[in-house]
Structure 1
Amino acid sequence: MVALFVGLRLYAVLGRRTGHEQQPVTRPDAVPGSEAPPPVADVAPERTEGSGYAYEDKAAGGVRAIVSADPGFDVARFLEGAQAAYRMILEAFWKGDRDELAHLVGDEVRSSFDEAIAAREAAGHRLDNRLIAIERAMIEDAELRGRTASITVRFDADIAAITRDEAGEVVAGSLTDAVVTHDLWTFRRTLGSADPNWLLVETDEAA
């Protein structure tokens, strides 16, 4: 079993940046949500050779190594799945859905989420956030160590957020003024394993 790791940075990034719990209160009009698509899985049979569109030049060597080790890997379909996972993980965290997170992230990531969710529950707060749009998803880096593949994806997204108290009153944030976020999320899986899904193992703020 591949060792999965992540520091408290995940809690800081998701709790602070995409939680937006300290944003000024403005118009709390609702923004329609959407159903979450399926999780990341490299299921496409065809290979996509990338340029700047799918991945940065520095990731080319790692992508080629992964494709060589697993000819079924498809860059474009991976990015589609990565965007689906981005939405699912954020929404599960915002809702405090620990069971859903357990299937999408590594053990230490899940522990960090549990701490953040527990702190939120203790304060009597709940998040009413919406992922409005993912403006861009591009592979920033990729590597293969043995049979362990790691791919870092940059997400540029618009997120509307609001925090409510136990009575449902707005205490922070806005659902009408989306905040632009820039995240780096690293996904990992063991090539050849029976599980086709990639787990989130690290996240950071993109420059």
Structure 2
Amino acid sequence: MFLLVILAMIAGFMALQLYRVLGKRTGHEQPLPKPAEDRAPLTLVPRPVEAIAESREPASRLVEPKAESGIRSIISADSSFDVARFLQGAQAAYRMILESYWQGDTEQLDWLTEAGVRDAFVAAIDERKEAGHKLENRVVSIEKAIVSDAVLDGKVARITVRFDADIVAITRDAESVVIAGSMTDAVETHDVWTFTRTLKSSDPNWKLADTDEA
């Protein structure tokens, strides 16, 4: 009988330990977020819990010195923000916005850009159509994308990115005759684009708010 009592106590202890381990929530009971299907060039996916413990200092090779303070402020206000992922999204947005402009796709420009930038693009598209010109441009490569400035104004974050890219640019007239550019020679371009977003808003997308040449 004494042996049975001891065995029962051991079994009860093991059952309690299993409950303590298996009965706890791990934080992953909810479905993992799914990637956006078509339109999330600048959607930032929260990092796994295991990765949050690593240093959140802005990487010097991705951020110019004058932008580091602003990036730290943005990270402090939104712990899900990640510089590397933002720049990956910014490069995707750079391609998508340019391609939308070249192709005259105003619908896609609606959700990729702020109103002022969109209106400027649409005006240029309309002027191009009126002249009967067509663009056959493409981004050959993005050689560099680096954060050159960053500001947090209340809940609104503004991040400026410098893009160094090679672009093939051809303009044809109404008869499809090439009037400018070459398919064999890429043009070296240097653009400075500013993206904006209200942190922790329901819209996860960053939008292009300003454009300039470096």
Q: Which category describes the TM-score, using the shorter chain as reference length?
A: 0.7 to 0.9
- Provide the rounded CA distance (Å) in 2 between the counterparts of 1:169 and 1:44: 49
- Provide the rounded CA distance (Å) in 2 between the counterparts of 1:171 and 1:183: 24
Q: Of 104, 108, 122, which aligns to 2:112?
A: 104
1:161 positional shift: 0.5
Q: Could you tell me which residue of structure 2 aligns to residue 7 of structure 1?
A: none
- Provide the rounded CA distance (Å) in 1 between the counterparts of 2:183 and 2:138: 7
- Provide the rounded CA distance (Å) in 2 between the counterparts of 1:37 and 1:94: 18
- Could you tell me the percent identity over the aligned residues? 56
Q: Could you tell me which residue of structure 2 aligns to residue 152 of structure 1?
A: 160
CA contact (8 A) 1:138 1:153 kept: yes
Matched letter for residue 180 of structure 1? E
**Runs of 4+ more than 3 Å apart:** none
- The reply to whether residue 64 of structure 1 matches residue 66 of structure 2 is no
SS of 1:60's equivalent in the other structure is helix
Matched letter for residue 157 of structure 1? A
Q: Of 173, 177, 180, which aligns to 1:165?
A: 173
Where in structure 2 are there 5+ consecutive unaligned residues?
1-37
Matched letter for residue 156 of structure 1? D
1:37 positional shift: 8.8
- Provide the rounded CA distance (Å) in 1 between the counterparts of 2:119 and 2:78: 31
- Equivalent residues in 2 for 1:1-207 (5 A)? 38-45=40-47, 48-206=56-214
1:147 positional shift: 0.2
Provide Cα deviations, 1:54-102, integer angstroms capped at 9, x if missing partner: 1011111000000000000011000000000000000000001111111
CA RMSD of aligned residues (A): 1.5
- Provide the rounded CA distance (Å) in 2 between the counterparts of 1:117 and 1:96: 6
Provide Cα deviations, 1:145-199, integer angstroms capped at 9, x if missing partner: 1000000000000001000112221111112100111111000000010111000
Instruction: Report which of the two structures shows the higher radius of gyration computed on alpha carbons.
Output: 2
Q: How many residues align?
A: 171
CA contact (8 A) 2:148 2:162 kept: yes
SS of 2:202's equivalent in the other structure is coil
Q: Which has the higher helix share?
A: 2
Give the TM-score taking structure 2 as reference length: 0.77
1:43 positional shift: 1.6
1:42 positional shift: 1.7
- Provide the rounded CA distance (Å) in 2 between the counterparts of 1:134 and 1:127: 20
Where in structure 1 are there 5+ consecutive unaligned residues?
1-35
Provide Cα deviations, 1:122-157, integer angstroms capped at 9, x if missing partner: 000010001000000000010101000000000000
Matched letter for residue 126 of structure 1? K
